[in-house]
Amino acid sequence: MKLTDEPITNGVAQLGQIGNVAVAVEYPLGNTISAPAPPLVMVTGTIGPGTLASALDALCSLDQTFAWVRIGNTVHILPRALEKDPSYLLNRKIEALSFQDVPGAQEAVLGAVAQLSGPKQQIAILQVGMSLSFSHPWTASFKEITVREAFDKIAQQLGPTYGWQFTGATDFKYVTFHERLGVRLKNIKQPLNR
């Protein structure tokens, strides 16, 4: 795989197309939603053949902004600086999370975030070209789950290789779900889904 003046998320998208894994990307957050988002680092490099883990290691070495972790069937690309920050929204734990006949991802995300203790978080769910409805109403319960893991569970209800993207700013965040992570085109400011 070769990247030419592209963000590493394009390489991750290429890996997600050939594997049977879901991909979640957490972009660095801006200071405020009214300010421009932090720019992504553009890299040039070649990733040789190997395992999924070795390819992800190589991609993250090209852009030290990001680290990766695999949780179940989902590969997460996340800001290295926030990886262990307990105050970061996606690292926060929900002690008990229950869903009762939830019809779709939007209601599930809002329900999960509402279960957090402490200060409330403002988050939006963007729908881009696909339905966010589950195939049937979802009922489930989880204990001691992070917001990241809750988003993974929600994506899995949409489909086995569905993932998500998280972006925005400290004062307003949003999540989008995707069947496969799309390649980011040059000069496009927002994450792409398909």
Query: What is the tens place of the pLDDT at every residue in 4-41?
Result: 999 999 999 888 666 678 999 999 999 888 888 888 99
pLDDT band for position 186 (cuts 50, 70, 90): low
pLDDT, tens digit (0-9, with 9 covering 90-100), for 125-165: 987 767 899 999 999 999 999 999 999 999 999 998 899 99
CA distance 96 to 87: 18
DSSP summary character for residue 30? B
pTM of the model: 0.90
> Checking DSSP bridges between strand 172-178 and strand 163-169, what pairing results, if any?
antiparallel
Asked if the model's pLDDT at residue 121 lies above 90, the reply is: no
What is the pLDDT at residue 189?
43
pLDDT, tens digit (0-9, with 9 covering 90-100), for 123-134: 889 877 678 999
List phi, psi (to 5°) of 109: -60, -50
pLDDT, tens digit (0-9, with 9 covering 90-100), for 54-87: 999 999 999 999 999 999 989 999 999 999 999 9
- CB under 8 Å to 177, separation ≥6 — which residues? 105, 125, 130, 132, 154, 155, 158, 162, 163, 164, 193
> Please, are residues 133 and 110 in contact by the beta-carbon 8 Å criterion?
no
Q: Is the dihedral of CA 20, 6, 81, 53 positive or negative?
A: positive
Residue with the two structure tokens 């769910």:
125
> Please, are residues 108 and 87 in contact by the beta-carbon 8 Å criterion?
no
CA distance 136 to 155: 14
DSSP E strands: which ranges in 105-149? 123-126, 133-146
CA distance 53 to 25: 16
Task: Among 77-81, 107-111, 114-118, name the one with the lowest average pLDDT.
Answer: 114-118
CA distance 41 to 65: 8
> Please, are residues 158 and 132 in contact by the beta-carbon 8 Å criterion?
yes
Which pair of tokens denotes residue 17? 């197309």
